[in-house]
Structure 1
């Protein structure tokens, strides 16, 4: 009996376009990189705490260059892949036997998240460690509130559904990760305007890739969102991190 296909929550074509645009924007001087930078710093701290010294590493997503340099300096053979250039997270990985697989900000927009987690586990060597970080539940509360105010009595799907700590734990157990750990941490960022926030979301690949998104904001609705969001607003990102081993 065949397994039913997962629901198509996210559009693969829109996801590809958004990530390609983000890659291009990341090449510009001064591009917003604070989310990936935070995830990379957290990864190095976890490796130090766990005293895990991987020899073969797979990095998925827009990992910063200084992370690659740091891992290489420790003697690791590092491979970096990116969904925007053809790496398929929802298919069996072409490589196996990695001591560390780290995913940065990509798993929040895959349709088959349990399957992607299983593929990560299967690509690990025995004793290998997997760490996946992405924007989770509780993120962008100010923008969500402003969008709801603009939509009024008929809210439209404009922002992605997100995974929380409890759901993350259930997903790891289902995927067979050993000694699973799930945690969430906030990252607060002050924005001078709504325009500044939207620019950062585009640069970091966080704009809408829903397969059935809501209608485009009218000028009146955009004006409401802009007014509700205000100036000098501190927006919050919740970074969810899933970690576990292959025994």
Structure 2
């Protein structure tokens, strides 16, 4: 008799919980990335005119997300310390412990890039939303940390190993919204550049925001490797002795399905053909 085996998960769930707990006490000293993400989410939320009363903060960190007015906010975080600090529940984002149709808005600020089952997490977010409820998310996406990636590869050549986990690009992120059953999907990207005086400061920030590598079976960095990476990092400094590192923040917006939402045009319902449009454009050029 044959039995199906589940593929191994990319991220170590227990290591993630431990690192979030370690980061909790001093998170406020390293929270610039989540602060930028929350600014972007607040901006997008402000553009929504319909009233929202029940929010889920999915990956709550220090519970800084606070919508305006008298809204109620439930919080969930994979780390015990963050969950306790926000008066929330400890749980992974792809294992949400909430009933269907419980919230008007689900916010996920800065965690989806560390979730094992991102499609599952988005599907659960859609399920806990009420009809026409809003999902707003953001995370570190593809193209982030190019300097760190480069110096680590250089320091460990010719036997470099993966130390920065795979990152989701903005197009794939939009596809994930559709796959999860969210409607009116929008995915866009913003760049945040940060200047560092040395590799140690960058690593301190990543540890302080619980954003270090969670890939399983990755051997620890040796002191010699870190020294070579620090030297390679310093070699990239500008005239002021600083190196610019880049974070690409992918923002996601989607809605739980509802009959009141605008529908895409039915195929074949267009009143003008593409050929005619091209002819008109050519005649005007």
Q: TM-score, normalised by structure 2?
A: 0.79
* Residue 50 of structure 1, aligned match among 48, 51, 64: 48
- The question of whether the paired residues in 2 share the 8 Å contact of 1:90 and 1:110 is answered with yes
Q: How far did residue 184 of structure 1 move?
A: 1.2
CA distance in structure 1 between the aligned counterparts of 2:172 and 2:50, rounded to whole angstroms: 26
Q: How far did residue 87 of structure 1 move?
A: 1.6
Q: How far did residue 219 of structure 1 move?
A: 2.5
Structure 1 residue 88 corresponds to structure 2 residue 92: yes
CA distance in structure 1 between the aligned counterparts of 2:184 and 2:102, rounded to whole angstroms: 19
Q: How far did residue 97 of structure 1 move?
A: 2.1
CA distance in structure 2 between the aligned counterparts of 1:145 and 1:195, rounded to whole angstroms: 15
* Residue 153 of structure 1, aligned match among 142, 155, 158: 158
Report matched runs for 1:107-118 at 5 Å.
Answer: 107-118=112-123
* Residue 61 of structure 1, aligned match among 59, 62, 87: 59
CA distance in structure 1 between the aligned counterparts of 2:64 and 2:98, rounded to whole angstroms: 25
Match of 1:167 in 2: 172
CA distance in structure 1 between the aligned counterparts of 2:5 and 2:123, rounded to whole angstroms: 16
Match of 2:74 in 1: 79
CA distance in structure 2 between the aligned counterparts of 1:242 and 1:20, rounded to whole angstroms: 27
* Residue 232 of structure 1, aligned match among 216, 227, 242: 242
Structure holding more helix per residue: 1
CA distance in structure 1 between the aligned counterparts of 2:49 and 2:233, rounded to whole angstroms: 43
Match of 2:186 in 1: 181
Q: How far did residue 42 of structure 1 move?
A: 0.8
Q: TM-score, normalised by structure 1?
A: 0.90
- The question of whether the paired residues in 2 share the 8 Å contact of 1:6 and 1:112 is answered with no
Distance 1:187 1:119, change over 3 A: same
Distance 1:203 1:212, change over 3 A: same
Match of 2:30 in 1: 32
CA distance in structure 2 between the aligned counterparts of 1:6 and 1:237, rounded to whole angstroms: 30
Q: How far did residue 241 of structure 1 move?
A: 1.4
- The question of whether the paired residues in 1 share the 8 Å contact of 2:61 and 2:77 is answered with no
CA distance in structure 2 between the aligned counterparts of 1:6 and 1:123, rounded to whole angstroms: 27
Match of 1:194 in 2: 199
- The question of whether the paired residues in 2 share the 8 Å contact of 1:36 and 1:64 is answered with no
| Equivalent residue pairs, number | 239
Match of 1:222 in 2: 226
- The question of whether the paired residues in 1 share the 8 Å contact of 2:102 and 2:128 is answered with yes
Moved >6 Å (runs of 4+): none
SS of equivalent to 2:43: helix
| Larger relative contact order, structure 1 or 2 (CA cutoff 8 Å, min sep 6) | 1
- The question of whether the paired residues in 2 share the 8 Å contact of 1:40 and 1:67 is answered with yes
Q: How far did residue 50 of structure 1 move?
A: 2.8
Q: How far did residue 4 of structure 1 move?
A: 6.8
Greater gyration radius: 2
